[in-house]
A and B are shown apart, each in its own frame.
Chain A
Amino acid sequence: KQEVTQIPAALSVPEGENLVLNCSFTDSAIYNLQWFRQDPGKGLTSLLLIQSSQREQTSGRLNASLDKSSGRSTLYIAASQPGDSATYLCAVASTGAGNNRKLIWGLGTSLAVNP
């Protein structure tokens, strides 16, 4: 059974720091891995999606890497800003066709970037 873990659960950093959020999963047979952002009282916003054949994806100051063999993904945020404060969730899409494919979610890392 696939399990997704995110460490740390909470992180507080000063503005301008580069930081790394971690996501680990127990079954390396994945279809893709996604990173989402959730702001308080709001829904989730998709940030990056890494297909199983890819090693990384980049969007602006965000870079996500994927190492299937070790069951790990990292989300790198460069030059953090107070507006980056949110909860970041990792989700793994299992392999399997049709209705057998699922998204398994981590509990998230709550990030606070202090001015």
Chain B
Amino acid sequence: DARVTQTPRHKVTEMGQEVTMRCQPILGHNTVFWYRQTMMQGLELLAYFRNRAPLDDSGMPKDRFSAEMPDATLATLKIQPSEPRDSAVYFCASGLVAFGNQPQYFGPGTRLLVL
């Protein structure tokens, strides 16, 4: 049963600290997405990659957020320095295409609380 995995599942940190979230996409999927979900804004696309190359990161605050894919089995999202307004659930998703007629498969999310 292929699944997207994310670590950690929960993270509590203090303002100013670095946060790193990791995602392992489904084997064979060449498109990886990072989303952020809050009660007020709902789901927002932060960035996505195809074949490990960043295609769009316009949804990310670039001064503090960075996303990378060191290899096909690992995607990372870093926040440095973190702020209380970054508190949200961060989802990774993978798929065979970007926004085409194939579904995206979501991981369970990382619930981040910045104090």
B15 on interface, CB distance cutoff 8 Å: no
Contacting A43 at CB < 8 Å: which of B45, B56, B106?
B106
Complex Cα spacing A103 to B44, Å: 9
**Per-residue A-contact encoding for B12-50, CB less than 8 Å = 1, 0 else:** 000000000000000000000000000000111100000
Tally of contacts, chain A with chain B, CB under 8 A: 53
Complex Cα spacing A49 to B42, Å: 20
Residues of A within 8 A of B91 (CB): 43-44
CB distance from A99 to the nearest CB of B (A): 5
Residues of A within 8 A of B56 (CB): 99
Q: Contact check, A102 vs B106: say whether CB atoms are below 8 A apart.
A: no
Nearest opposing residue in chain A for B99, CB measure? A101
**Per-residue B-contact encoding for A24-62, CB less than 8 Å = 1, 0 else:** 000000011010100001111110010100000000000
Residues of B within 8 A of A36 (CB): 106
With A43-B107, A99-B55, A102-B45 already in contact, the answer to whether A49 and B99 are too (CB < 8 A) is no
B105 on interface, CB distance cutoff 8 Å: yes
Nearest opposing residue in chain A for B102, CB measure? A49
With A31-B99, A44-B91 already in contact, the answer to whether A105 and B105 are too (CB < 8 A) is no
B103 on interface, CB distance cutoff 8 Å: yes
CB distance from A2 to the nearest CB of B (A): 13
Q: Which residues on A are within 8 Å of B, measured CB to CB?
A: 31-32, 34, 36, 41-46, 49, 51, 89, 91, 93-94, 98-99, 101-103, 105-108
29 contacts between A and B (CB under 8 A): A31-B100, A31-B101, A32-B101, A36-B106, A41-B108, A41-B109, A42-B109, A43-B93, A43-B107, A43-B108, A43-B109, A44-B91, A44-B93, A46-B105, A49-B101, A51-B101, A89-B42, A89-B43, A93-B99, A93-B100, A94-B99, A101-B99, A101-B100, A102-B99, A103-B99, A105-B42, A105-B43, A106-B42, A107-B42
